[in-house]
């Protein structure tokens, strides 16, 4: 069994990427981003997620995270992805302003039909690609990469200007989610 993308160290801090199937740019709408933020808050408060840094991009999400003894990080991520996929699909179905609704839902349904682990829809790609951050170099590299993502994409000029990111916290401001800072 491959261990390339596994969280082997239960006390480790991991860089995690979650991408929407076929890289559909769902998170261009504020209400879908807010749903992710609320779900992350819940995981922090109730599930034992320890969030060190994060960013929501138009079609993916990056986290630097670990977990408390309450639950393992893979279990938290599994529950997060399952819950958010159902909520996001429902939000897309119910959104009268979603001009691409039929197309987006067709992609999720099509991907779900081709995956034996799903019954109807697939929102998230299967893997989280966890990378253990076991050195100061890796921590700094991934933290910089995560916060620079919106700048590199041309969405903002400065990382701390992106609303759905922890960059504002690391710049001395107050962001949307409680963090445990990396040294």
Backbone φ/ψ region at 154: left (φ over 0), alpha (ψ -120 to 50), beta: left
The pLDDT of residue 5 = 52
Per-residue pLDDT of the chain (183 residues; tens, 9 = 90+): 344 456 678 789 999 999 999 999 999 999 999 999 999 999 999 999 999 999 999 999 999 999 997 789 999 999 999 999 999 999 999 999 999 999 999 999 998 887 766 668 899 998 888 999 999 999 999 999 999 999 999 999 999 999 999 999 999 999 999 999 987
Taking each helix axis as running N to C, give the angle between helix 101-113 and helix 73-94, from 0 to 180 degrees, rounded to the nearest 10.
140
CA distances from 124 to 24, 32, 77, 78, 82 (A): 10, 14, 11, 11, 9
The pLDDT of residue 123 = 96
Which of the 8 DSSP states describes residue 19? E
| CATH architecture of the region 14-76+124-170 | 2-Layer Sandwich (3.30)
Residues 6+ apart with CB under 8 A from 77: 16, 18, 128
Backbone φ/ψ region at 118: left (φ over 0), alpha (ψ -120 to 50), beta: beta
Taking alpha carbons only, the member of 38, 57, 47 closest to residue 145 is: 57
Dist CA 39 CA 55 (whole Å) = 14
The pLDDT of residue 118 = 65
Q: Which residues of 85-118 are buried (b: 16+ CB within 10 A; e: fewer)?
A: bebbbebbeeeeebeeeeebeebbeebbeeeeeb
Matching residue, tokens 């993916």: 60
Taking alpha carbons only, the member of 53, 64, 78, 76 closest to residue 14 is: 64
In 3-state terms the chain splits into helix, strand, coil percentages (rounded to 5) of 45, 15, 40
The pLDDT of residue 3 = 43
Which of the 8 DSSP states describes residue 28? G
Which of the 8 DSSP states describes residue 175? -
Q: What separation, in Å, do the N-terminal and C-terminal C-alpha atoms of the chain show?
A: 34
């Amino acid at each position: 069994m491959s261990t390339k993308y596994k969280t082997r160290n239960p006390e480790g801090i991991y860089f995690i990427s979650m991408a929407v199937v076929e890289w559909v740019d769902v998170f261009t709408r504020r209400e879908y981003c807010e749903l992710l933020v609320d779900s992350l808050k819940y995981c922090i408060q109730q599930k034992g997620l320890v969030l060190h840094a994060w960013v929501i991009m138009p079609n993916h999400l990056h986290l630097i995270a670990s977990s408390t003894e309450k639950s393992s990080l893979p279990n938290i991520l599994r529950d997060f992805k399952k819950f958010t996929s159902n909520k996001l699909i429902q939000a897309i179905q119910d959104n009268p302003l979603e001009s691409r609704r039929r197309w987006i839902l067709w992609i999720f349904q099509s991907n779900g039909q081709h995956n034996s682990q799903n019954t109807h829809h697939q929102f998230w790609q299967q893997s989280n690609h966890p990378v253990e951050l076991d050195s100061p170099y890796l921590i700094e590299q991934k933290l910089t990469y995560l916060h620079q993502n919106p700048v590199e994409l041309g969405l903002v000029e400065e990382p701390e200007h992106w609303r759905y990111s922890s960059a504002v916290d690391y710049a001395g401001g107050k962001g949307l989610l409680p963090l445990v800072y990396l040294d």
